[in-house]
Structure 1
């Protein structure tokens, strides 16, 4: 019987009461099945690292309760300490959980966590010592992320507001993207380094991305009209139809460096990380996660 430490991010999600109820339900089901479960609420990023490290040392599964930022942060600790990660989606986007095909029903989540099967080995991205499970993105996406951080309580509506706000002041950037030593230049809106195919609350930026192929899908959106960008951001990204556009280029590789002609932020797993340039590489099968 597995043992668990549930690490709860109290700031995750825009429906905290609903999330709290789901956590209680899953924990109750685990305990009814005989599993030992500790529930810890984080006070800071460093505190979450400490909780997760102690959990791994005890032999517990680290159960990430939150959104993509929480999952990514705890995944980094689990990768470094050799532990196992479980995920209870309780954030706004939950895009990595979506990529893994994880259930949202509390009973189904509990059954998955209790299932006596080997953890799935999945890839992660490493950049400057930081682990990212979903994707790294720059350009207009990262600027929209900056705006979204100020309107998080709006939930899904906040994504649309933030994209529109970023578009109003956007001017095209020239990117220098080096993939496994081969250079590519592009003038446009954004570059996404995708381990997982989803980001931004269900947008399917990289439909062919896989978390177990040892590769990153690099999606480049070149110069397109503003109305074209609106169509891509609000509609085509959800279905994957943007890949039919000639302005969208997809590359694949193991190590990627992105530079730009001006200072631009970049983010990962829904959180702003730093400013360009960024060098990222895939760590194949580095994360053990309960996903099947």
Structure 2
């Protein structure tokens, strides 16, 4: 493997933590003997083009410095190739790094782990989800949670997480379950009333919310969590349990498993790795061994 590797940096991740994390990460990698090239795009499209160019030019690894948004972008560059992906988790959520058991918000430690793993060839293949031509690593969210995202993205004030807290309160006030149509592995259509449907390649979203706690990155299947028809008060009781993953024991929650899932509901968007994919219906496929990851 070449000793030249690429740092793919989002300087704005985690309110500026990405820029700060890049320096100790680059230093640790250079100390380990690697030649480090840094890629920072003018925007997401430019950044992805630069990352893809680095992969095409034969970089020894693409190491993303940022949060789940940048990881999502990096996946578009490396999925389906033999270029390993490393993560220096410096964002707000960092859910793909959590799923891989990597250090979070400790850039020097994460970089040292990546360098040691590359030298020791500790690289393994893990699954990814795919919707159309978009890859995702963690969870495809739809329903109540995606409506909160939609509302929060439209708001100009307040800023940061407070925006989404306010959006959640507004969505709760107007909450009604959605009529879903769910099809697993091309089988019969299931028609259900549900607060949300989450398709998990990884276990968590939103910075450790274990919405699909049993998901396995290497089993070739999604875990699909369906929070069924429930009142607002029930949703308020169930949702906090997501951080521990114990919500799946609630009678209103069902967990399904499939390699392919089609979800449809009127007026509902889908988000994967926190990034908007578009309005439902969407079809997601689990692609076994779609990406090589470092140090997991």
Deviation at 1:66, TM superposition (A): 1.5
**Partner of residue 216, structure 1:** 222
Structure 1 residue 6, shift from structure 2 partner: 1.0
1:33 matches 2:32: yes
Aligned position for 1:173: 178
| Unpaired segments ≥5 residues, structure 1 | none
What does residue 285 of structure 2 align with? 281
* TM superposition shift of 1:291: 2.9
User: Corresponding residue for 2:19?
Assistant: 20
Which residues of structure 2 form unaligned runs of 5+? none
TM-score, normalising length: structure 1: 0.92
Q: Given that residues 131 and 282 in structure 2 are in contact (C-alpha distance below 8 angstroms), is that contact kept between their aligned partners in structure 1?
A: yes
Q: How does 1:176-195 map to 2 (within 5 A)?
A: 176-182=181-187, 183-195=189-201
Whether the aligned pair in 2 keeps the contact of 1:159 and 1:200 (CA below 8 Å) is: no
**SS of the residue aligned with 1:175?**
strand
RMSD over equivalenced CA pairs, Å: 1.8
Aligned to 1:66: 66
Distance 1:80 1:211 in 2: 16
1:100-129 Cα deviation digits (max 9, x unpaired): 110122232122111222322110011111
**Structure 2: distance between partners of 1:2 and 1:244:** 48
Aligned to 1:101: 101
CA displacement at 1:151 relative to structure 2: 6.4
Is it true that 1:84 corresponds to 2:79 in the alignment? no
Count of paired positions: 288
Confirm or deny: 8 A CA contact 2:126 2:291 kept in the other structure: yes
Does the 8 Å CA contact 1:92/1:155 hold for their aligned counterparts? no
Equivalent position to 2:165, from 160, 185, 193? 160
1:43 is aligned to 42
Alignment counterpart, residue 273 of structure 2, candidates 269, 276, 279 = 269
